[in-house]
Amino acid sequence: MSGERSAMQRAPDADVPQVVSGDGLRGGRLTFLEVLGHGVANITPSAMAAVTVSLVAANAGVLTWLVYLVVGGVMLLVARQIAQLALHVPAAGSLFVYLSRALHPLAGIVAGWAMVGGYLGALLAAPVLCGVFAAKALVLLHIVIVPAWAAGLVLAVVAWSLAVHDIELAARYGLIVEGFSIACIVTIGVVVLVRHGLVDPVQFDVSGIDRHGFFLACMLTVLAYGGFETAGNLARERRGSEKTVPRAIMVSVAVVGAFFVFMAYTEVLGFGNDTALLGRTTAPLNLIAARNGVPWLAVFSDLAMTAAAFSAAIATLNSISRVLYSMARHGVLPRVLARVHPRHHTPAPALHLLGVAMVSFVVFMAATRLPVLVAVNLFGIFTAMGFLVIYSLACVAAPRYLWRLRGRPAFGSLLAMLIGLPVLLYVLWGNLYPFPTGAQGAVTALFLMYLLSGFGAFVWLHLRHPQRVVAMVQGLAGD
C-alpha cells in the first residue's frame, strides 16, 4: 500500500492553482494561448465548415452567416456567465465545482455527471472520425491505403499517450493542430472570395427572411459552439493571472464565432447562393473546391478534419480526466481517480480509464462495421443534451453567486441570463417535445436515464452513508 501511495498519491484538498512537487496537478504550466487552444479544440470548429453548415443552410438559406452571428452573440453572453464563475471559483472540475458553490452541491453533481456523459460521447467519436478522414486524405495524396479503423486506433493511442505524459505538450500540440485545421479551411474560403468577390448583395438582403426557418437554424447552431467552457478544466495548471482562464473562455467563443460567420458566408457564396444544394451536401468543402476549379483543395478539407478530430481527442481527454479527478477528490467518485502521476502530475488513473474506453470503441466500430455517421450522430445527441443542461444551470448560477458575493444585484449577469437562458431552454424543450422516435428517441431516453442514475446514486449514498454525504456537501459548498 505504501508503494502504491508513493507512485500515485492523492491530490491536496485545496482546489486552487498551485505548484506542487508530487501530490497534485502542477500549476504554472500552461500559457494563455495553450488554454485558449484547448477550449477551441473542444468546440471543434472545423466540423461546422465541413459538415453541420449544410443543416443550418437548409433552414436559414442565404442568411446562414447571420444565424451564426446572432447565436454567437447569445453564446458570448453564456460564456460571460461561465467566465465570471471561473474567475471567482478556479477549479479543475470547472462547472461541477462552480455550480456546487453557486447553487447547491446537488446541482454541481448533476452538472458534473452531465459533463462526463456529454464529453464522453465526443471522446469516443473523435478517433473514429479522425481515422475516416485520415484514410481519405492518404488516398487523395496517393501515399498509402490504410483502413480507417487502423488510422483511428493509432491516433487514439498517440492522443492518450500525450495526455498522460505532459499536459503542456498535449495542449501545445492541440493548439498547433487546431490552428492547422482552421488554416486549411480558411484557405478554401479565401479562394472563394478571390473568385467571386468580397461583397455578395444577395446575402445581405433580409427582406425575404423566413422567420420560422431562421429560428430553427438558430436552434441548430447553438450546439455548434459547445465545449468552450472546458478551458476552465485547466484552471489549476494555467500560467499567469487568475484572469487567464476567464479570458480564454471569452476569446474562444469570439474567435470561433468569427470563423463560423466567415465560413458560412463564403460557403454559401461558393455554392452560388444555391442553399438548397448546400443543404443536401454531406461534404460541402469538397464540392466547393470542385465547383471553383480547384479540386486538389479537397485534400485540405480532409486534412483539416483529421487534424481537428485528433486535436479534439486530446482536448476531450484532458477535460474529462480533470472533471473525474475533481469529482473523485470531493468523494463523488472512487478516490482512485483523484490520484496523479508522481512525475507527470496528470490524473493518470482517469486518463487510463478514458484511454481504454476510447481504444475499445475504435475496435468495436471496426468489428461491428457500424456506419460511422450513425454513431457520430447518436453521440452528438448525447453531447448536445449535456451542453444544454450545464449551460442553462450556469446562466442561473452566475447572477446568484455574484449577488451573494457582492451583496447587490449583478445587472450585467442578470441581463445575460434573461437573454441566454430562454434560448437554451427552448432548444432543450425542442429536443424533448414532441419526444423523438427511433434511434434519436432511444439516445435521448438514455441520456435522461443517465442523469437520473447520477441523482439516484446520490440519494442511495445519502440513505446508506449520511455522514459521507454531509462531508461531501460541505466540501463542495466551500465550508
pLDDT digits (tens, 9 = 90+) for 284-340: 888 898 888 788 877 888 888 888 889 889 989 999 999 999 999 988 889 999 999
Tell me the three cell numbers of residue 179: 490552428
Tell whether the torsion through CA atoms of 283, 284, 285 and 291 is positive or negative: positive
* pLDDT tens figures, 423-479: 889 888 877 888 888 888 898 899 999 999 888 888 887 788 788 777 877 777 763
Position 445: which residue type?
A
Side-chain half-sphere exposure of 476, counting CA atoms within 13 A: 32
Tell me the three cell numbers of residue 135: 484514410
**Buried/exposed code over 363-397 (b: 16+ C-beta within 10 A; e: otherwise):** eebbeeeeebeebbebbbbbbbbbbbbbbbbbbbb
Q: ∠245-246-248 over CA atoms, to 5°?
A: 60
**CA atoms of 124 and 139, how far apart (whole Å):** 24
Tell me the three cell numbers of residue 311: 486535436
Residue 156: predicted pLDDT: 94
**CA atoms of 13 and 178, how far apart (whole Å):** 34
Fold for 22-477, please state it: Amino acid/polyamine transporter I (1.20.1740)
Q: How far is CA 338 from CA 21, 289, 346, 471, in A?
A: 16, 48, 10, 17
> One digit per residue, pLDDT tens: the chain, 479 residues?
444 333 334 333 344 333 333 347 777 778 898 899 888 988 889 888 887 898 889 889 999 999 999 999 999 999 999 999 999 988 888 899 999 889 988 888 889 999 999 889 889 989 998 998 898 888 878 787 889 999 999 999 999 999 998 887 787 877 888 888 888 899 999 999 999 999 999 999 888 778 777 877 887 788 789 889 989 888 888 887 788 999 999 999 999 999 999 999 999 999 999 999 998 887 888 889 888 878 887 788 888 888 888 988 998 999 999 999 999 998 888 999 999 988 888 999 999 999 999 999 999 999 998 888 778 777 878 888 888 899 999 999 999 999 999 888 889 999 999 999 998 898 888 778 888 888 888 988 999 999 998 888 888 877 887 887 778 777 777 63
Instruction: List, in order, residues 6 or more apart from 406 with CB less than 8 Å away.
Output: none
Looking at residue 25, the DSSP 8-state letter turns out to be P
This prediction has a pTM of 0.86
8 A C-beta contact, residue 472 and residue 329: no
Position 183: which residue type?
A
Give the CA radius of gyration of the chain: 22
Side-chain half-sphere exposure of 442, counting CA atoms within 13 A: 6
In 3-state terms, what secondary structure has residue 10? strand
Q: Which residues pair with 339 in a beta bridge?
A: 10
Tell me the three cell numbers of residue 331: 468523494
Instruction: List, in order, residues 6 or more apart from 357 with CB less than 8 Å away.
Output: 120, 123, 124
- At 238, give phi and psi (nearest 5°): -80, 160
**CA atoms of 298 and 102, how far apart (whole Å):** 48
Domain-by-domain residue ranges, the chain? Answer: 22-477
**CA atoms of 18 and 239, how far apart (whole Å):** 10
Find the helix or strand (DSSP H, E) in which 8 lies.
none
Q: 187 — alpha (psi -120 to 50), left (phi > 0) or beta?
A: alpha
Looking at residue 207, the DSSP 8-state letter turns out to be T
Side-chain half-sphere exposure of 443, counting CA atoms within 13 A: 20
Tell me the three cell numbers of residue 420: 441566454
In 3-state terms, what secondary structure has residue 421? helix
Among 392, 394, 448, smallest CA distance to 422 is for: 392
Instruction: List, in order, residues 6 or more apart from 271 with CB less than 8 Å away.
Output: 277, 278, 281, 284, 287, 288, 291
**CA atoms of 408 and 416, how far apart (whole Å):** 16
In 3-state terms, what secondary structure has residue 17? coil
Among 106, 86, 94, smallest CA distance to 332 is for: 106
Placement of cell 486534412 in the chain: 303
Q: Which residues pair with 173 in a beta bridge?
A: none
